[in-house]
Chain A
């Protein structure tokens, strides 16, 4: 069934979009990533103009994150205090990121910087996670070493300490804010919610337990992407509600299935899956940068 999108001004198959939303929703529920880093390139691929793909992708992420976060609230796996501090940092960061984006645009190399960001960050995070989770999986098979309750690192020595009860942490608010800011900047430049950066940062930098990481990250993503959607709609008129609704229909259902599935899988296995997915996207983007493209030319239409 073909459907004409009023803002994107293209005709696409409605079922393709619902399916796309479903896959991304599944990722969202399973891993706690918003799925922006998957949906945006997928929308480019089916011929949606990039600015509309980014803005509408953000709107879709709002829906799947709300759906996911509600399921996590029920299971009491959201650290609202941590989420709030992260969000404060995130909003500042995304404001800074938009500023950086404008500068890059005037230099004319946005695409390149965005792509390089993806390759570097996805590569680093994917590699780290894969290595760590394989080690954890091996450790659990031969339980000779006694695991410490949690490791103390530099994060624990900073001032302005706060109690995060749901995470069972008593750490400084400064690194939490910094993680929020960094994710916000990257999110604005890369046009994503930033969950795929935040989830590993929460686990490895802040030392949060995996079971609250997904819910808390979804909580923060919901607000950051809502902010982004509104910004895009007001300043660039690039949110296509028809496209968003189709993606959302698939997305919310996918997110529910994902959360149910996630509760049954083991944390290490979940992390290995996410690591492999991140590395896959990274590899694809790196190939695009290093291999000679089939088509050297591209067209960008002027300001609408």
Chain B
């Protein structure tokens, strides 16, 4: 690493919270969530130089999704999304290292708290905690190759592509010395649940022109708009981005019950009780008849 890089990194450290704020020419607008939480994701991690975008890219993504909405029915058990597309270019395929593609799907964000247990007076209790302002409820990254080889750190933080960077921001006062174990634990726990996933090499790219990615959505999805992004990379730099939304919502009985529970909670509560009492009485009557017979 050259001296100039080190100097630039130092400069960005000093700049602090304005790091992710983009200025100057940009082919891609900054996302809403980025504007809402302009702080660099994890204060425990080293800051990196955030590069500027290049001029109009020579290669562009054209893509489609197998379905732009996912309906959660009573028998919903996860869903498979196929993302396919092609690279549009006016000139022949450039020489040098091959084109790389990264596909991400990001679910709606939630505020959450990560707790760490500690031994106090012989028992294990929750002691230290870190509050995270907004972490996606679901986040999947699919790539054509190992993420750390095809994507440079600067571009990663520019677009918040890798898992640690997808956690938006820290909320409130940070009471722990080192936040990294907490964010790592969050990612580990959610990876175990299938909510966060990194699938390196799962995007198939043919002749640097046609690609497809299959991403499976787990059964424990929350409702909302899921954002799909397709990144086109050369030499570790992002040269184009394609975005498309996927709407995830409950339908039919699921939707009706959900709305009733939140809009008319008293009626919903009484209904739950009625079901319980009726079932209890019904079983009692049925068994009495069975015993008599």
Interface residues of A (CB under 8 A from B): 1-4, 6-7, 9-11, 47, 59-60, 62-68, 70-71, 74, 108-109, 111-112, 226, 229-230, 232-235, 237, 239, 241-242, 244-245, 248-249, 251-253, 255-256, 260, 288-293, 295-303
Contact = CB atoms under 8 A, between A and B. Distances in A.
Interchain residue pairs A-B with the least CB separation, the first 10 = A66-B280, A233-B269, A11-B219, A252-B283, A302-B111, A297-B185, A63-B276, A67-B280, A70-B284, A4-B76
Contacts of B270: 230
B255 to A, nearest CB: 8
A109 to B, nearest CB: 7
A70 B286 CA distance: 12
Nearest to B72: A4
Contacts of A245: 275, 279
Interface of B: 72-78, 110-119, 122-126, 181-182, 185-186, 188-190, 219-223, 250, 253-255, 257-258, 261-262, 265-266, 268-273, 275-277, 279-285, 287-288, 291
B188 to A, nearest CB: 8
A67 B74 contact: no
A293 B72 CA distance: 35
A273 B163 CA distance: 50
B126 A7 contact: no
A298 B269 contact: no
A293 B123 CA distance: 10
B140 to A, nearest CB: 17
B168 to A, nearest CB: 13
Contacts of B272: 59, 229, 233, 239, 241, 244
A50 B77 CA distance: 22
A4 B280 contact: no
B268 A241 contact: yes
24 contacts: A2-B75, A4-B219, A6-B250, A9-B223, A11-B76, A59-B273, A60-B276, A66-B276, A67-B279, A67-B284, A70-B281, A70-B285, A111-B125, A229-B273, A233-B261, A233-B265, A233-B269, A239-B272, A288-B124, A297-B186, A298-B115, A299-B189, A302-B113, A303-B111
Contacts of A47: 220
Contacts of B253: 6
B51 to A, nearest CB: 33
A244 B275 contact: yes
Contact of B261 (A7, A59, A70): A7
A230 B273 contact: yes
A54 to B, nearest CB: 14
A249 B119 CA distance: 42
Contacts of A2: 75-77, 219
Most buried by A among B113, B126, B223, B254: B126
B276 A59 contact: yes
Contacts of A11: 76-78, 219-220
Given A9-B221, A256-B283, A302-B113, A293 B275 contact: no
Contact of B124 (A235, A239, A289, A303): A289
A234 B277 contact: no
B189 A301 contact: no
Contact of B254 (A4, A297, A298): A4
A64 B254 contact: no
B279 A292 contact: no
A19 to B, nearest CB: 16
B280 to A, nearest CB: 3
Contacts of B271: 241
A303 to B, nearest CB: 8
Given A6-B254, A233-B272, A234-B269, A298 B114 contact: yes
A290 B273 contact: no
A293 B117 contact: yes
A269 to B, nearest CB: 23
Nearest to A244: B272
B276 A300 contact: no
Nearest to B269: A233
Contacts of A60: 276
Contact of A241 (B73, B255, B257, B262): B257
Contacts of B262: 237
Contacts of B254: 4, 6
B114 A67 contact: no
